[in-house]
Amino acid sequence: MSKKGDYLEGRDGGRRLPASGRPIPAPDLPLPPEPVTVRVASVEQLPASFDDGEWRTILTKNDPFAVLFLDAENWRSLTVDMVKRHHELLSTFWKKKLMAMRSGSRSQILRKYGGPDQSEYLVESFPQILNDAYEELASEEKIRAAGVRLERLRTDAALAEIARRLEFFLVDGELTPLEARSLFQESARLGLTDQVTAQFIAAKLTERAAQPMARPRGTLLKDQLCSVTWSVSPPVHTITWKVIAVLAFAFAVVVVIALLLMGALRDSAPAPSRRIPANSTTEPLLTEKIQPQPPAGVLERAAPPPAAARSSLPPDADSKSEADLQAERDAGAAEMQRKSVSDEREAAKAAHVEIERSLPALRDRLAENRLDDVETESERLMTLAARHALTDDITTVREIASAARERKVDEKVEQERRARYVAASSQIKQLTDSGKYPEAISLSTEVLKDPLLPADLREQILESQNKARTDLKRIMSSAVVKGGEVKPAKKH
């Protein structure tokens, strides 16, 4: 959709009109509807709200549907006749505005429709914009081509937004179920289907070598992505830049320390003496000022003893060697490493304590057959243990989670088996009630052979079988066989 300041390019009185990509400060004009929708109840007239701001759809770039006040998302339902009728309605609308502009209402028309520059050229160009849009949609093939093109652009823009949000969620190396569900909610708002979004997220996770922290659940890809936490590896380029940044920082620190030490050594070094030695035969430089020398006796009395002179020097005069400096730097780095390891150890210890404190409640939930709660809590504890590489805790939590899954599977199998037995018992009872005793007896005999048949259903089937046998025996005993036919006996 067009934004404020996004107008077609042209000239008006020697001034350059603002164009897409070169926005200028916008006036207080109404924005076009977002997204553009077909607001026309019928193709016989424009809505009353069109002149209140919806006319700005004609400024939309690269969307002939919006220019003709049609919905690009519903391009499959559009016909050439609808496109033609919209073109006629809009052409009539703008012809009336041009006539009003030329008949005394020029300032009002330009103020409302001329954009920030109140451009007469812009208003006069609207009929041609309509004609160009109509040419792009003048046939079924052109409608299909434009619709597919805009649909692809919308999909690419939506996927780019999903990719941006996904990268933000993966900053910590994990994609949680809550974050995955929020991605699908955003994709639905952007008009993407769950299938397209799921395939896109799965492809991005595959690129990052993602691994689920627990067994994914569900048959659909969306359900599997939203059922567990996914742990991903950081991109190679991210690792590379991190290493480069750390090395550059370390190098800068070393340079600064070296410069400070050199300055300290320079300040602590004694200034060179300008007194000419007594036994020197070299003439003093002309640029040096020759100081008068006191008698030798005075010099001897004033000069302190060598030992005293050495003892009076400040401690900073003894500069440190390069080996000492390197040793100090190594000691500092080792201290930082020890602190980092200590912090990580404390965090891992706290995580272990939390997991140990949560395990009894987790086992209680398993004993109470609260299997869904066990899976949810196990997922959280597994994520916490994996973050700090607590392998023993991972094994413990995984065992509890596996037991819950196995019990859940067993319960499902048992439910399915009981459903089959219930259906067989009901069928036997129906056969017995309808007088099909041989079929009822045969089926009940076959079902009763199963050792896993529940006791309550076994009693029901035995009851139906005994009834079928009793009724069949009664019928057979009261019958008379004649000529191979079984007929009921006559009563005397």
Q: What is the pLDDT of residues 131-157, one digit of tens each?
A: 999 999 989 999 999 988 988 888 898
Closest C-alpha among 72, 65, 126 to residue 99: 126
- Asked whether the beta carbons of 276 and 284 are under 8 A apart, the reply is yes
Confidence of residue 19 (pLDDT cuts 50, 70, 90): very low
Reading the block at residue 199, the tokens are 């395939």
- In eight-state DSSP terms, residue 485 is E
Which of 101, 121, 104, 107 has the alpha carbon at shortest distance from 18? 121
Q: Which two tokens stand for residue 191?
A: 């008009």
Other Cβ atoms closer than 10 A to 262 = 11
**Residues 229, 219: Cα–Cα separation, whole Å:** 17
> What is the gyration radius of the CA atoms in the chain, in angstroms?
46
Residue 231, class by beta-carbon neighbours within 10 Å (0-12 exposed, 13-18 middle, 19+ buried)? Answer: buried
Helix (H) or strand (E) holding 12: strand 11-12
Is the pLDDT reported for residue 309 higher than 60?
A: no
pLDDT of residue 71: 81
Q: Dihedral of CA 19/20/22/25: which sign?
A: positive
Q: Rounded to an integer, what distance in angstroms lies between the CA atom of residue 50 and that of residue 87? A: 14
What pLDDT score does 9 carry?
Answer: 35
How many Å apart are CA 197 and CA 181, to the nearest integer?
Answer: 11
Alpha helix segments (H runs only) across 170-235: 177-189, 194-207, 221-227
CA atoms of 453 and 458, how far apart (whole Å): 6
Q: What is the pTM of this model?
A: 0.39
Q: What is the spatial distance between Cα 458 and Cα 450, in angstroms, rounded to a whole number?
A: 10
**Residue 138 DSSP class:** S
State the pLDDT at residue 201: 92
More confident residue, 267 or 132: 132
CA distances from 282 to 28, 272, 277, 279 (A): 90, 17, 9, 9
Give the chain's mean pLDDT. 75
pLDDT, position 199: 92
Q: How far is CA 48 from the centre of its chain?
A: 42
Lowest mean pLDDT among 27-41, 194-208, 453-467: 27-41
- Which of 383, 409, 382, 384 lies closest to 397, judged by CA? 382
pLDDT winner (highest mean) among 35-44, 194-203, 395-404:
194-203
H helices of 38-169, where?
Answer: 64-67, 80-102, 106-113, 120-136, 140-169
In the chain, the percentage of residues whose pLDDT exceeds 70 is 70
CA 184 – CA 180 distance, rounded (Å): 7
**Helices 437-448 and 455-477: angle between axes, nearest 10 degrees:** 150
Q: How far apart are CA 155 and CA 196, in angstroms?
A: 9
**Has residue 487 got a pLDDT over 70?**
no
Cα–Cα distance, 108 to 37 (Å, whole number): 28
Residue where the block lists tokens 């993407």: 192
Residues 6 or more apart from 153 whose CB is under 8 A from it? none
3 state SS of 323: helix
pLDDT at 198 over 90: yes
* Residues forming beta bridges with residue 481, ordered by sequence position: 486
Residue where the block lists tokens 């996904």: 166
Sequence-separated (6 or more) residues with CB below 8 Å from residue 280: none
**Which of 124-138, 367-381, 397-411, 476-490 has the weakest average pLDDT?**
476-490
Sheet with 230-231: strands ordered across: 174-175, 230-231, 211-212
Reduce the secondary structure of 410-447 to three states and give it as a string.
HHHHHHHHHHHHHHHHHHHHHHHHCCCHHHHHHHHHHH
Nearest to 401 by CA among 202, 197, 192, 229: 229
Q: In terms of residues, how long is the chain?
A: 492
13-22, 67-76, 294-303, 472-481, range with greatest mean pLDDT: 67-76
Of residues 348 and 384, more confidently modeled: 348
Confidence check: pLDDT of 13 > 50: no
For 27, the token pair is 């006036």
Q: Which run of H or of E encompasses 11?
A: strand 11-12
Mean predicted confidence (pLDDT) in 473-490: 61
